[in-house]
Chains A and B, each alone.
Chain A
Amino acid sequence: MPELNEQLTLNRQASNVVRVSVPAAVAYNFDKFSKIQKDILGKLGCMACTSGWDIRWQLERNFLVDEKLNIQVVGPDIAGP
């Protein structure tokens, strides 16, 4: 994450607390998974118009299994919580 080092500032406080500052754009994107879903728009609201299976948990599991971010087929046949 090269932009991180460019955008953060690091200060040592008088109380011996190290303070690191990052802008929101960096803070929201620590997650490599954001390459697939980089936009927070629409994530904070309520559910969409659907009566189907939400695959976000499965996508997260796939990410943890496959760090190369290969997009895998996901669907309701795969067990969720």
Chain B
Amino acid sequence: MNLPELGVGLVYWPGLEPLFESGNHALSVIEIEPQGYWFENPAQPQQPYRIDQAALERLQRIPLPKIVHGVGFPVGGTRVPDERHLAPLCETINALDAAWASEHLSFNRARNGSDEFNTGFLLPPLQTPAGARAAAATIRHVAQRVPVPFAIETNVSYLRPQRGEMSDGAFVATVTEAADCGILLDLHNVWTNERNGRQTLRAFLDEIPLERVWEVHLAGGAEYRGYWLDAHSGVVPEALLEIAAEVLPRLPNLRALMFEILPPFIPVVGLDLIQTQMEKLQELWKTRRNALPRTEKYQRAAPLTDGAADCAITPRGWEDTLGGLVIGRPAATPLARELDDDPGVTVLRHIAATFRSGILVDNLKLTTRLLILSLSEERTQQLLREFWQASPPELFAIPEAQAFARFLRTRRLNVPHLYDVLDYELALLQMSLTGARQLVRFECDPLPLLQSLGAGQLPVGSVLGNYELEVTPD
């Protein structure tokens, strides 16, 4: 595979722009997570996914080479991801002139009877030969439809190793050989797995075809209830940097080394420290060239044959069971009960719930704030839990916010101005989708109300009347 050497870079998020200015020798490539800049409009079922063209143009203007890393349509499961995402994915890849694209060796779709749902979180596939066959077929399906070489990211699993499953490394080796794809080696993910009791990073590396690794991810994490989380919450731990210094020279086809940090942590960590981190990674990148290449004794994974050494659990059964547990469905089968005993499933439930609450507080911020200030945080959290029980997660933010709005309307809460503020925030989301001006009715003067909530305070002395707030596109 003749891929360009791109060097050291960052996953792009707003707020990091000062680091991308020309003259920063610590950065030579950026990675784009494309679905972060798409809208989903359920009202357009033929093609619900639409690229935010303004965002795409902004990304195009960044004067660095780009690579594309999918986050919404993982390829590690039995279900081929929604075909409708391929057109905007290919458009993004072409518009950014990305050298390659990648997705996760995970799944996020499951089924309950005839009802298919999003799991709200990237979940680990069943690591059996049947699971590997399914993942390889899904990867091939997507890889054949994108215009650039395609790689899969090694995933995180908070679950205990299952009886009879393949090791993490053997699974990745088998899948990537069968799919003939590249590997995005997320060292923090594999290190996280080791810290949480799964295969060691070194054993993992001994099992995977290192020549398939085109890209490495590094990130920071955090402790939670005895687990190490792949939280992308800070700089890379020193211990992992030392491991990376050993590993990088073993990767003969490595083309990019990327650092990941999530947007809410950028102001916490600060741009100066992120810049220092990038300079450290540059040093790693340079010194890898000076290290002697090591002779690897990778034993190619045995070709997959139908029905070989499989366990009684089917990959679909696994996906539907684990997906159902993570969104809060009861454990109704023996497999579900066994998984439900795994504290890793509880961790998955909790962190998936934080994503759902994060989406709402981000996109219905004034509504959420009014609820907390009027009802208390505890009561608002209870409302969220009731909503989650009633409604599986949506993949994109706007449908999730719309679903919560529908839920709130059914509750007929006695919170002054709640439904006016909700209508207002839904109108802003609608404007994002359509670009059209929006008109919202208020039963009081809207500006003092919105300004009070914007300041984190309940409004006092609202002037009642018939008001309309017109929001016009910029």
Per the bound structure, the CA–CA distance linking A33 and B122 in Å amounts to 29
Work out how many contacts link A and B, with CB atoms closer than 8 A: 229
The residue among A36, A51, A59 with the most chain B CB atoms within 10 A of its own CB is A51
Contact B39 A1 (CB under 8 A): no
Known contacts A1-B451, A50-B262, A55-B358; A20/B431 CB under 8 A: no
Contact B361 A22 (CB under 8 A): no
State the Cβ distance, A17 to closest chain B Cβ, in Å.
4
Q: A53: which of B229, B385, B453, B470 is its contact (CB, 8 Å)?
A: B229
Cβ–Cβ < 8 Å partners of A60 in chain B: 361, 365, 368-369, 372
Which B residues, 321 to 358, have Cβ-Cβ distances below 8 Å to chain A?
350-351, 353-355, 357-358
* Nearest residue, chain A, Cβ from B433: A44
Per the bound structure, the CA–CA distance linking A51 and B158 in Å amounts to 9
State the Cβ distance, A62 to closest chain B Cβ, in Å.
10
- What band does the interface of chain A fall in when counting residues whose beta carbon is under 8 Å from B? 35 or more
Per the bound structure, the CA–CA distance linking A22 and B437 in Å amounts to 10
State the Cβ distance, A53 to closest chain B Cβ, in Å.
5
Per the bound structure, the CA–CA distance linking A8 and B455 in Å amounts to 19
Known contacts A53-B233, A76-B229; A25/B474 CB under 8 A: yes
Per the bound structure, the CA–CA distance linking A36 and B429 in Å amounts to 20
Which A residues, 62 to 81, have Cβ-Cβ distances below 8 Å to chain B?
63-64, 67, 71, 73-77, 80-81
Which A residues, 4 to 60, have Cβ-Cβ distances below 8 Å to chain B?
4, 8, 13, 15-25, 27-33, 36-37, 39-57, 59-60
Per the bound structure, the CA–CA distance linking A74 and B385 in Å amounts to 22
Q: A18: which of B122, B353, B466 is its contact (CB, 8 Å)?
A: B466
Which B residues, 378 to 402, have Cβ-Cβ distances below 8 Å to chain A?
381, 384-385, 395-398
Q: A32: which of B37, B267, B429, B456 is its contact (CB, 8 Å)?
A: B456
State the Cβ distance, B407 to closest chain A Cβ, in Å.
15
Task: Say whether B265 faces chain A, with CB atoms less than 8 Å apart.
Answer: yes
Q: A80: which of B13, B52, B55, B353 is its contact (CB, 8 Å)?
A: B353
Contact B14 A42 (CB under 8 A): yes
The residue among A21, A36, A44 with the most chain B CB atoms within 10 A of its own CB is A44
* Nearest residue, chain A, Cβ from B51: A45
Known contacts A45-B38, A48-B33, A49-B11; A64/B455 CB under 8 A: no
Cβ–Cβ < 8 Å partners of A31 in chain B: 365-366, 453-454
Contact B447 A81 (CB under 8 A): no
* Nearest residue, chain A, Cβ from B424: A27
Known contacts A42-B36, A81-B353; A51/B469 CB under 8 A: no
State the Cβ distance, B105 to closest chain A Cβ, in Å.
12
Cβ–Cβ < 8 Å partners of A52 in chain B: 221-222, 229-233, 262, 351
State the Cβ distance, B219 to closest chain A Cβ, in Å.
8
Per the bound structure, the CA–CA distance linking A50 and B398 in Å amounts to 20
- What band does the interface of chain B fall in when counting residues whose beta carbon is under 8 Å from A? 35 or more
Q: B396: which of A18, A44, A49 is its contact (CB, 8 Å)?
A: A44
Contact B71 A42 (CB under 8 A): no
Contact B369 A39 (CB under 8 A): no
Cβ–Cβ < 8 Å partners of A28 in chain B: 428
Contact A17 B396 (CB under 8 A): no
Q: A50: which of B230, B381, B473 is its contact (CB, 8 Å)?
A: B230
Task: Say whether B263 faces chain A, with CB atoms less than 8 Å apart.
Answer: yes
State the Cβ distance, B319 to closest chain A Cβ, in Å.
17
Task: Say whether B69 faces chain A, with CB atoms less than 8 Å apart.
Answer: yes
Per the bound structure, the CA–CA distance linking A2 and B158 in Å amounts to 49
Contact A18 B468 (CB under 8 A): yes
* Nearest residue, chain A, Cβ from B453: A30
Contact B72 A32 (CB under 8 A): no
* Nearest residue, chain A, Cβ from B450: A30
* Nearest residue, chain A, Cβ from B446: A20
Cβ–Cβ < 8 Å partners of A21 in chain B: 469-472
* Nearest residue, chain B, Cβ from A63: B456
Known contacts A43-B397, A56-B264; A81/B384 CB under 8 A: yes
Cβ–Cβ < 8 Å partners of B395 in chain A: 46
Per the bound structure, the CA–CA distance linking A61 and B358 in Å amounts to 11
Contact B468 A51 (CB under 8 A): no
Per the bound structure, the CA–CA distance linking A9 and B329 in Å amounts to 50
The residue among A13, A28, A46, A52 with the most chain B CB atoms within 10 A of its own CB is A46
Chain A residues within 8 Å of B, Cβ to Cβ? 1, 4, 8, 13, 15-25, 27-33, 36-37, 39-57, 59-61, 63-64, 67, 71, 73-77, 80-81
Q: Beyond the given A41-B58, A81-B357, could you list 16 further A-B residue pairs with CB under 8 A, ordered by the A residue number? A: A18-B445, A18-B466, A20-B446, A24-B474, A25-B474, A27-B471, A31-B454, A32-B454, A46-B72, A47-B359, A51-B231, A52-B229, A52-B351, A55-B265, A61-B372, A80-B357
**Which 3 pairs of residues, A with B, have the shortest CB-CB distance?**
A52-B231, A56-B358, A54-B358
Chain B residues within 8 Å of A, Cβ to Cβ? 11, 13-15, 33, 35-40, 52, 55, 58, 69, 71-72, 104, 121-122, 153, 155-156, 158, 189, 192, 219, 221-225, 229-233, 260, 262-265, 267-268, 350-351, 353-355, 357-359, 361-363, 365-366, 368-369, 372-373, 377, 381, 384-385, 395-398, 428-429, 431-432, 445-447, 450-451, 453-456, 465-474
